[in-house]
Chain A
Amino acid sequence: MDITIDIRDKSFKKERGVVHVLDHVYFHIDDGEFITVIGPSGCGKSTLLKIVAGLDTDYDGSVYIGRQKVQKPSVEQGFVFQEHRLFPWLTVEENIAADLSLNNAEIRKKVDELIDIVRLGGFEKAYPKELSGGMSQRVAIARALLRKPSVLLLDEPFGALDAFTRSHLQEVLLQVWAETKTTMILVTHDLDESVYLGNRVAVMDTHPGRIRHLIPIDLPFPRRKTHPSFQKLRQKVLREFETISEPPTTL
């Protein structure tokens, strides 16, 4: 589903005054697009994602998914957090099914399919404490996918993982995206990741947070991180990123 984001202002009231976190963030995401959002820490990228998810409704503006205005969290806006946030008392398959019953043949079949997709066969009955960080995050992705969300929002989902696990999960995510054609927004602080996964990279500015650039990445999949054209685009995003990392001159 396509997403129309129009956030005029999002601010937090602190003791020392008002902090503007997001300011005039406007953009449109087409159905089936994969948007990656990159920016310095504290630029409000996670806040942006929470607003799209409906977890944060205290802002000035609106977010539409298709024709539906986002007013509260729902299974339509799948969300994968930085930490896996699995229920420690449920097994892998129970975590994926969560409130849905595994006794239902249809659910059972879908859960088994997803366990296959995220390559967790053999761990259906394992508890989260028995899983590695990468495996837990795959369970979290499967949990979100089971509900067939119209958009999947990922908040630095691979940030806490080692490089090897991260690149493996990036492959898994691309495979899922290719198969389901779900619209995705992925927030990251990893430059390579943003260029590797996205159709477009949104580079965010800080204080107040706003979208500085939207850079289209018109490389075919599968992409190779060592390819010259990939490197060229990476340089381009990096240059944009560096201009905003420096302190603003107008202050």
Chain B
Amino acid sequence: MPSDIRTSRQNVRNTSNHKKVKKILSGMIVPIIIAVIWQCIGTLELVTQIVLPTPWDIVLAAKNLLASGLLLTHLKVSFIRAAVGFIIGGGLGLFFGTLVGLSTRSEHLLDPSLQMIRTVPHLAVTPLFILWFGLGDTSKVLLIALGAFFPLYVNTFLGIRRVDAKLFDVARILEFSKWKRMKLLILPAALPNILLGVRLSLGAAWLSLVVAELMGSTEGVGYMIMDARQFSNTDIVFVGIIIFALVGKLTDSLVRLMEHHFLKWQDTYRGGA
């Protein structure tokens, strides 16, 4: 019987490669159609270059920016800000989510205040951050951290509270130590929610980055966009936007890859054809 399982797993692997290519191709259909129509509109001069540069112009602009090294410098600065902000905010979110999830006492103490802060749109606190921390990296990183905090906090909390109480009985009977209970029961059970939180936090960090950089800065992709806008280089604005989209999608895919690896035990509906 085990050899049956093995061969069937191999078959699954072969067909899954084929399916993967199909999946990627079907994801590209919509963007390609849009790009073609867009290019036609530009070539037929239905709209001026300043309002809507053609995809080809944008590719050329990207090429020039890459060649001059400007694009990579800006991207590096933005990436580091987002990463540091995400690590601080997401880390704290994970910590407090776990704390509040595990004990009702800390929930009663902390959750009401945190929920109140959560409802404040963080564009509203941006001026305050600039007043306190200036226009430098500190205020930007903190703004990103604030954005990244809540999705991870809320989802970690939720994930822990959704652990099956019946499995806690099993942990009691098997006399799990506190550490083993955390490692074998609570964390794995909460992991689907935690990874969802990571995805949402990364998105929020990225969004906060744009807000922070548009507010005023001297480098970063957001600055590049603002700078290009002043000189009506719409193609460069588009390059910036596309960079944000690409990096955002890339990090998102990374987390999904993690989900795929860590949650392979899950027995859930994966969607029809």
**Cβ contacts B67-99/A at 8 Å (1 or 0 each):** 000000000000000000000000000000000
A107 at interface, CB cutoff 8 A = no
Is B176 touching A99 in the complex (CB atoms < 8 A)? yes
Is A89 touching B188 in the complex (CB atoms < 8 A)? yes
Give the CA-CA distance A72 to B169 in the complex, in Å: 11
**Cβ contacts A100-133/B at 8 Å (1 or 0 each):** 0000000000000000000000110011110000
- CB closest chain-B residue, reference A127: B265
User: In the complex, what's the smallest C-beta–C-beta distance from A1 to chain B, in angstroms?
Assistant: 16
Interface-facing stretch out of B112-120, B140-148, B177-185, B208-216 = B177-185
Choose from A53, A88, A98 the contact partner of B266 (Cβ within 8 Å).
A88
The residues in B between 30 and 49 inclusive whose CB is less than 8 angstroms from any CB of A are: none
Give the CA-CA distance A74 to B169 in the complex, in Å: 11
The residues in A between 11 and 42 inclusive whose CB is less than 8 angstroms from any CB of B are: none
Is A99 touching B180 in the complex (CB atoms < 8 A)? yes
Interface-facing stretch out of A78-86, A189-197, A204-212 = A78-86
User: In the complex, what's the smallest C-beta–C-beta distance from A239 to chain B, in angstroms?
Assistant: 36
User: In the complex, what's the smallest C-beta–C-beta distance from B10 to chain A, in angstroms?
Assistant: 15
Is A129 touching B267 in the complex (CB atoms < 8 A)? yes
User: Which A residues touch B131, using CB under 8 A?
Assistant: none
Is B175 touching A85 in the complex (CB atoms < 8 A)? no
The residues in B between 163 and 206 inclusive whose CB is less than 8 angstroms from any CB of A are: 166-167, 169-170, 172-177, 180, 184-185, 188-189, 191
Choose from B167, B173, B180, B264 the contact partner of A74 (Cβ within 8 Å).
B173
A147 at interface, CB cutoff 8 A = yes
User: In the complex, what's the smallest C-beta–C-beta distance from A156 to chain B, in angstroms?
Assistant: 14
Give the CA-CA distance A73 to B191 in the complex, in Å: 27
B1 at interface, CB cutoff 8 A = yes
Choose from B5, B166, B172, B184 the contact partner of A83 (Cβ within 8 Å).
B166
Q: How large is the interface on B (under 10, 10 to 19, 20 to 34, 35 or more residues)?
A: 20 to 34
Choose from B2, B170, B175, B265 the contact partner of A88 (Cβ within 8 Å).
B265
Is A75 touching B175 in the complex (CB atoms < 8 A)? yes
- CB closest chain-A residue, reference B188: A89
- CB closest chain-B residue, reference A140: B170
Is B184 touching A55 in the complex (CB atoms < 8 A)? no
Give the CA-CA distance A77 to B174 in the complex, in Å: 9
Is B174 touching A98 in the complex (CB atoms < 8 A)? yes
User: Which A residues touch B169, using CB under 8 A?
Assistant: 55, 73, 81, 85
Give the CA-CA distance A143 to B171 in the complex, in Å: 12
Is B166 touching A81 in the complex (CB atoms < 8 A)? yes
Give the CA-CA distance A90 to B184 in the complex, in Å: 8
Binding site for A on B (CB under 8 A): 1-2, 5, 166-167, 169-170, 172-177, 180, 184-185, 188-189, 191, 264-267
Binding site for B on A (CB under 8 A): 53, 55, 72-75, 77-79, 81, 83, 85, 87-90, 98-99, 122-123, 126-129, 143, 147
21 example contacts (A-B, Cβ-Cβ < 8 A) are as follows A55-B169, A55-B172, A73-B173, A73-B175, A74-B173, A75-B174, A75-B175, A77-B173, A79-B173, A83-B166, A85-B169, A87-B170, A88-B265, A88-B267, A89-B189, A99-B175, A99-B176, A99-B177, A99-B180, A122-B1, A127-B264
